[in-house]
């Protein structure tokens, strides 16, 4: 199981959707008090930025929230139309829709059970969720001002189709705000696909050390959740998936073998 987590992107593409569905169903089953609303590695600022102000309720998810906040990169989302592709359990969608006040924020995911979870769990006026796939986005051309994508794109069945679809549904001048992990040898090809879709690359940053700093601070919480909720035989794979200190995933980020990048891309 741990090998499957480590080699997910190298598995046959037809296995990805069922594996995501299995993963979400497993989380729904074991996380009965809905403590895990994020599925990303998190982010910690390393240059003395002012500490992000969060409500007491959001404080527990600080590092995962900080990754979303870094991706948004102070863009003015107020009154804008925003779509998130690959919203997972909706924690980022909830944070951005409450703190950045877009006119509408739609979270979309390939997993029906994660969308059912989100629809039952969140009650925010401007926020809604739909089931859909990144390679065929169910909206008209020029529908959105911003599209957000956190830790999801790299493993899509057809990443070029995803970039083309995002370009199609963004209005001219609209932005794709994206962060994901990637092997250094994959970056050139990733960038070629971005360019081929027609995007202008406004910013691209290697944020691996910020992600490692986030994991250093958040590992204890992640381990506690896994140790108290997940059956023993699945704990090692969950910890690898969660990137806790000492796992192969964490060590790969720390050594630079696996990197984490954020992008601002403009149509
Ligand atoms: C690592 S999780 C990240 C979730 C969320 N962005 C977060 O940071 O908490 C990746 C998400 O992408 C979703 N996903 C994977 N392939 C997808 C696709 N082709 N279309 C839409 N969502 C997809 C998965 O179901 C999963 O919820």
Q: Could you read off the pLDDT of 106-130 as tens digits, one per residue?
A: 999 999 999 999 999 999 999 999 9
* Probe target for ligand 1 pocket from 9, 16, 19, 20, with the most ligand atoms within 8 Å of CB: 20
For residue 160, name the pLDDT band (cuts at 50, 70, 90): very high
Contacts of 7 (CB under 8 A, 6+ apart): none
Residue nearest to atom 16 of ligand 1 (CA): 156
Q: Write out the residue range of the structural domain in which residue 72 sits.
A: 2-266
Q: In the prediction, which pLDDT does 187 show?
A: 95
How many folded domains does the chain comprise? Answer: 1
Residue nearest to atom 27 of ligand 1 (CA): 88
Q: In the prediction, which pLDDT does 76 show?
A: 97
How much is the pTM? 0.95
Instruction: Determine the longest span between alpha carbons in the chain, in angstroms.
Output: 50
| Mean pLDDT within 27-33 | 77
Contacts of 150 (CB under 8 A, 6+ apart): 40, 67, 68, 71, 84, 86, 92, 178, 179, 180
Q: What is the CATH number of the domain that holds 116?
A: 3.40.50.150
The answer to whether 50 touches 75, Cβ cutoff 8 Å, is no
Which has the minimum average pLDDT: 20-29, 60-69, 70-79? 20-29
| Mean pLDDT within 8-19 | 73
- 83 CB burial (10 A radius; 0-12, 13-18, 19+): buried
What single DSSP character describes residue 68? H
Q: Model confidence over 220-260: pLDDT tens digits?
A: 999 999 999 889 998 998 999 899 999 999 999 999 999 99
| Mean pLDDT within 50-62 | 95
Would you say residue 97 has pLDDT above 70? Answer: yes
Rounded to the nearest integer, the mean pLDDT of the chain is 93
* Probe target for ligand 1 pocket from 27, 110, 177, 240, with the most ligand atoms within 8 Å of CB: 110
Q: What spacing in Å lies between the alpha carbon of 48 and ligand 1's midpoint?
A: 30
């Amino acid at each position: 199981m741990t090998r499957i987590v480590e080699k997910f992107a190298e598995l046959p593409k037809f296995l990805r959707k069922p594996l995501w569905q299995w993963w979400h169903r497993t989380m729904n089953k074991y996380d009965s008090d809905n403590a895990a609303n994020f599925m990303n590695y998190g982010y910690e600022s390393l240059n003395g930025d002012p500490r992000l102000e969060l409500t007491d309720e959001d404080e527990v998810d600080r590092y995962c929230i900080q990754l979303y906040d870094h991706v948004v990169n102070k863009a003015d989302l107020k009154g804008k139309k925003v779509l998130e592709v690959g919203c997972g359990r909706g924690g980022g969608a909830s944070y951005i829709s409450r703190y950045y006040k877009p006119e509408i924020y739609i979270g979309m995911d390939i997993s029906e059970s994660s969308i059912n979870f989100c629809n039952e769990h969140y009650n925010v006026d401007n926020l809604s969720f739909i089931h859909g796939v990144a390679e065929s986005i169910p909206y008209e051309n020029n529908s959105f001002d911003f599209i957000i994508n956190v830790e999801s794109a790299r493993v899509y069945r057809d990443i070029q189709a995803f970039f083309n679809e995002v370009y199609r549904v963004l209005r001219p001048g609209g932005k794709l705000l994206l962060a994901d992990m990637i092997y250094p040898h994959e970056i050139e090809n990733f960038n070629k696909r971005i360019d081929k879709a027609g995007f202008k690359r406004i910013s691209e940053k290697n944020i691996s050390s910020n992600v490692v700093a986030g994991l250093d601070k958040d590992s204890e919480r992640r381990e506690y959740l896994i140790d108290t909720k997940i059956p023993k035989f699945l704990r090692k794979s969950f910890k690898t998936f969660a990137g806790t200190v000492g796992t192969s995933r964490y060590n790969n980020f720390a050594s630079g073998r696996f990197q984490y990048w954020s992008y601002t891309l403009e149509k």
